[in-house]
């Protein structure tokens, strides 16, 4: 990791704790007032801001067999793509902090845009995504962020202590969604594990932590609102990460959508672990969407092994998935994995999707 300094104070690493959630008129006004009030108490900074550059490169080889074909594919990992970021923070004289995050994702042949198992000539597509442009202020009052960043609910269906989240997260469709169950229909048209709003322009407030509990609120473009609740605990070598959220997108791009969900991951001192996730999407018009996954695993040293199943539905259509994954964190920031996965559905004329994938992510 390369660290760049413009002052002499110790390096501060602002890594925003991302939770998720919604609300209405009173909440919206309260958040705006809180932001303005917080801005009024800022004082002159003690030193110039310090910042660092970090990021990751993510690649994998996928051998799929779906309704389109079985061509070997070399992809950027759609769930956690290649990216770089610039973060910085500054201590303020009154005990507060201020900081920022700029992040851009740069992918070649992302798995999230795979055109089924027939992808050959289209395998060199490049994509750039401006993920974050965010500033924040923190203190005894909690934390306020404004700009493009995570809504208060983002990540609420992604609690995972198993060690295999890179290729076997609850959001299975993020990596495998564009594979075809029929010649004209993709897997994620049936199975969708909906999360909170990700990387949107919003005003967000996070409460101070209390015994491992944090609550977050956000108001986004078009007045979509989110509420996210998160608990993290560690006792006698056992760890728990639990999250829940609600989202109301009443004014945000089309018909009203209400979303509810949760996830929890429990890692025992012995290395045994269990992870669950659920999401429900209530549409004002159209078929409702539900998804549930459960994962059992064992983690020892640098090694992690999991088996998972998931079930999802969109209206009358149903889909399920089964996966086996091995992952190893072979050094700090260097991870490798291998996954076997099967995707099935009850869609008329559909075929099973079989996937073997091996890959690595290296952080810097």
Q: What is the dihedral of CA 129, 3, 330, 84, to 10 degrees?
A: 10
**Max Cα separation, the chain?**
67
Phi-psi region of 165 (alpha: psi -120 to 50; beta: other; left: phi over 0): alpha
Judge whether residue 144 has pLDDT over 90. yes
Structure tokens at 41: 């108490």
Task: Provide Rg for the chain, Cα atoms.
Answer: 21
Q: Mean pLDDT over all residues of the chain?
A: 86
Q: How many residues does the chain have?
A: 364
The helix/strand/coil state of 361 is strand
Q: Given a cut of 80, is residue 43 above it in pLDDT?
A: no
**Predicted pLDDT at 52:** 95
Q: Are 359 and 198 in contact (CB under 8 A)?
A: no
Which pair of structure tokens corresponds to residue 26? Answer: 């009173």
The set of residues, in sequence order, having a beta carbon less than 8 Å from that of 344 and lying 6+ positions away, is 319, 320, 321, 350, 352, 353
Q: Which residues pair with 216 in a beta bridge?
A: 206, 228
Contact 299, 273 (CB under 8 A): yes
- Find all residues with CB under 8 Å of 94, minimum gap 6, and list them: 41, 42, 43, 139
For residue range 181-221, list pLDDT tens digits in order.
998 899 999 999 999 888 999 999 999 999 999 999 999 98
Q: Dihedral, CA atoms, 29, 33, 34, 38, nearest 10 degrees?
A: 160
- Per-residue confidence (pLDDT) for residue 113, from 0 to 100: 77
The answer to whether the CB of 45 falls within 8 A of the CB of 91 is yes
CB 318 within 8 A of CB 190: yes
CATH number belonging to the domain at 2-363, selected among 2.40.160.10, 2.30.30.30, 3.30.420.10, 3.40.1160.10: 2.40.160.10
Per-residue confidence at 33, pLDDT binned at 50, 70, 90?
A: low
The verdict on pTM exceeding 0.85 is: no
pLDDT band at 30 (very low <50, low <70, confident <90, very high): low
Question: What pLDDT, on a 0 to 100 scale, did the predictor assign at position 250?
Answer: 66
Q: Which two tokens stand for residue 73?
A: 């594919």
Mean pLDDT along residues 282-295: 86
DSSP string, 258-269: EEEEEEEEEE-T
Per-residue confidence (pLDDT) for residue 173, from 0 to 100: 83
Q: What is the pLDDT of residue 249?
A: 81
- 8 Å CB contact between 273 and 184: no
In the 3-class helix/strand/coil scheme, how is 194-244 assigned residue by residue? CCCCCCEEEEEEECCCECCEEEEEEEEHHHCEEEEEEEEEEECCEEEEEEE
CA dihedral sign of residues 289, 312, 339, 161: positive
Name the nearest CA neighbour of 288 among 220, 190, 199, 208: 190
pLDDT tens-digit map of 249-270: 865 555 568 899 999 999 999 9
Q: Over 300-326, what HEC string results?
A: ECCEEEEEEEEEEEECCEEEEEEEEEE
Domain ranges of the chain: 2-363
């Amino acid at each position: 990791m390369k660290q760049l300094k413009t002052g002499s104070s110790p390096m501060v690493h602002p890594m925003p704790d991302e939770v998720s959630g919604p609300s209405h008129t009173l909440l919206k006004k309260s958040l705006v007032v809180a932001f303005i009030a917080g801005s009024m108490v800022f004082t002159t900074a003690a030193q110039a801001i310090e910042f660092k550059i970090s990021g990751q490169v993510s690649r994998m080889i996928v051998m799929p067999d779906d309704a389109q074909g079985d061509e070997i594919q070399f992809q950027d990992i759609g769930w956690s793509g290649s990216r770089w970021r610039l973060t910085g923070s500054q201590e303020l004289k009154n005990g507060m902090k201020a900081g920022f995050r700029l992040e851009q994702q740069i992918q070649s042949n992302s798995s999230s845009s795979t055109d089924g198992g027939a992808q050959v000539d289209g395998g060199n597509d490049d994509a750039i995504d401006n993920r974050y442009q965010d500033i924040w202020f923190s203190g005894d009052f909690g934390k306020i962020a404004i700009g493009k960043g995570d809504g208060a609910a983002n990540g609420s269906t992604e609690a995972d202590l198993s060690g295999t989240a890179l290729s076997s997260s609850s959001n299975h469709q993020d990596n495998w969604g564009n594979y075809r169950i029929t010649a004209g229909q993709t897997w994620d048209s049936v199975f969708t594990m909906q999360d909170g709003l990700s990387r949107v322009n919003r005003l967000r407030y996070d409460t101070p932590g209390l015994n491992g509990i944090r609550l977050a609120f956000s108001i986004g473009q078009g007045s979509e609102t989110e509420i996210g609740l998160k608990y993290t605990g560690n006792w006698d070598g056992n760890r728990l990460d639990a999250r829940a959220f609600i989202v109301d997108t009443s004014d945000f791009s089309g018909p009203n959508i209400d979303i509810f969900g949760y996830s929890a991951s429990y890692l025992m001192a012995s290395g045994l672990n269990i992870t669950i996730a659920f999401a429900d999407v209530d549409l004002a018009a159209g078929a409702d969407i539900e998804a549930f996954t459960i994962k059992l695993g064992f983690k020892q040293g640098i090694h992690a092994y999991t088996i998972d199943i998931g079930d999802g539905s969109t209206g009358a259509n149903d889909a399920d998935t089964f996966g086996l994954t091995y992952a190893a964190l072979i050094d700090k920031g260097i991870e490798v994995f291998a996954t076997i996965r099967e995707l099935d559905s009850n869609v008329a004329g559909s075929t099973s999707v079989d996937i073997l994938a091996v890959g690595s992510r290296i952080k810097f």
